[in-house]
């Protein structure tokens, strides 16, 4: 007993500053119509050695760079800012670059799938076009009338705080592709489009609120939200997405009556 303890102590002493490493298995949903698998998607398992500080993205990198170069996924900044690498990890939409392996139970195989509801192009890469089409529809830009001011458009801190939460969106599609209503036929505008409309509707400098409310007062607009809170749970930026959607609903009701 004593010896064991001493051994552990010496090992720990020698390993100061060294990050512990462990074996982890990733179960990745693959899709490649040009392969022998054709239009069928299939699962591949990879076991790699990872460190305690590694994220799921690091594991995917390791697979692509050292095991299977054909694995395809999107990533740009790799630090949770660009929103390229939203994937479904163990059934939840997350950014691969913001999810530590140790947080998603590396004792069992970690399941990595493309986000749902958007057409898969290859492996973890989905076609984001339906998502961005909805985003474009809500006119995500400042709309004003009259002459442009010679200086900046002044806004009070309170007015800025009104829509602060929804300015954080990075358009990763984690929310929209977690929404069961969006999964059905992809016609629903989706949480992300509504969040970005909210960002301008409640901006005191913007004058296009009426137009945006009109656009979202569609059969496929805010009224299809069932408040399941999947979007709020999925958002890697912690935006209160469902709340934003309800605020847009309220703005529409006060506009109508």
Q: Which is nearer to other proteins, 78 or 125 (CB)?
A: 125
Residue 213 backbone phi and psi in degrees, to 5: -65, -40
CA angle 185, 189, 190 (to 5 degrees): 85
Q: Which is nearer to other proteins, 31 or 46 (CB)?
A: 31
Contact (CB, 8 A) for 175 and 182: no
Q: Which is nearer to other proteins, 38 or 180 (CB)?
A: 180
Number of residues that bind other proteins (CB under 8 A): 28
Strand-pairing partners, residue 106, are none
Smallest gap from residue 132 Cβ to other proteins (A): 9
Instruction: Give the residue from 22, 78, 89, 17 showing the smallest Cα distance to 50.
Output: 22
Q: Find the radius of gyration of the CA atoms of the chain.
A: 23
Lookup: tokens for 92? 């939840």
Binders in 180-209 for other proteins, by CB under 8 A: 180-181, 184-187
CA atoms within 13 A on the CB side of 4: 1
Give the Cα separation of 161 and 105 in Å (integer): 37
Given candidates 67, 78, 215, 243, which one binds other proteins under the rule CB under 8 A? 215
**Would you give the binding string for other proteins spanning residues 102-141, x where CB under 8 A is met?**
-----------------x-x-----x-xx--xx--x----
Does 256 interact with other proteins (rule: CB under 8 A)?
Answer: yes
Which residues 6+ apart lie within 8 Å of 153 measured at CB?
144, 205
Does 218 interact with other proteins (rule: CB under 8 A)?
Answer: yes
Lookup: tokens for 146? 């009259």
Does 253 interact with other proteins (rule: CB under 8 A)?
Answer: yes
- Torsion, CA 94, CA 90, CA 129, CA 140, rounded to 10: -30
Smallest gap from residue 142 Cβ to other proteins (A): 23
Q: Which is nearer to other proteins, 189 or 202 (CB)?
A: 189
Smallest gap from residue 189 Cβ to other proteins (A): 9
Q: Which is nearer to other proteins, 153 or 226 (CB)?
A: 226
Query: Which residues are near other proteins by CB under 8 A?
Result: 119, 121, 127, 129-130, 133-134, 137, 180-181, 184-187, 214-215, 217-221, 223-224, 226, 249, 252-253, 256
């Amino acid at each position: 007993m004593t010896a064991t303890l001493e051994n552990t102590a010496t090992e720990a002493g020698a390993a100061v500053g060294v990050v512990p490493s462990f074996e982890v298995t990733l179960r990745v949903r693959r899709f490649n119509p040009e392969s022998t698998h054709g239009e069928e998607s299939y699962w591949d398992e990879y076991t790699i050695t990872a460190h305690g500080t590694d994220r799921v993205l690091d594991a995917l990198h390791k697979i692509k760079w050292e095991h299977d170069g054909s694995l395809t996924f999107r990533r740009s900044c790799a630090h949770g800012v660009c929103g390229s690498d939203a994937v479904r990890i163990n059934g939840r939409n997350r950014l691969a670059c913001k999810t530590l392996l140790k947080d998603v139970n590396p004792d069992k195989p970690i399941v990595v799938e493309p986000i749902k509801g958007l057409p898969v192009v290859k492996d973890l890469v989905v076609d984001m076009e339906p998502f961005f089409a909805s985003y474009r529809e809500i006119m995500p830009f400042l709309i004003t009338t009259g002459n442009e001011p010679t200086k900046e458009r002044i806004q009070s801190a309170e007015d800025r705080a009104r829509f602060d939460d929804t300015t954080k969106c990075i358009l990763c599609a984690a929310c929209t592709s977690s929404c069961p209503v969006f999964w059905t036929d992809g016609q629903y505008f989706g949480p992300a489009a509504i969040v970005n409309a909210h960002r301008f509707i409640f901006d005191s400098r913007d004058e296009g609120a009426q137009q945006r409310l009109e656009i979202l007062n569609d059969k496929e607009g805010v009224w299809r939200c069932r408040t399941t809170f999947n979007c709020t749970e999925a958002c890697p930026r912690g935006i209160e997405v469902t709340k934003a959607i309800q605020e847009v609903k309220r703005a529409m009701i006060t506009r109508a009556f």
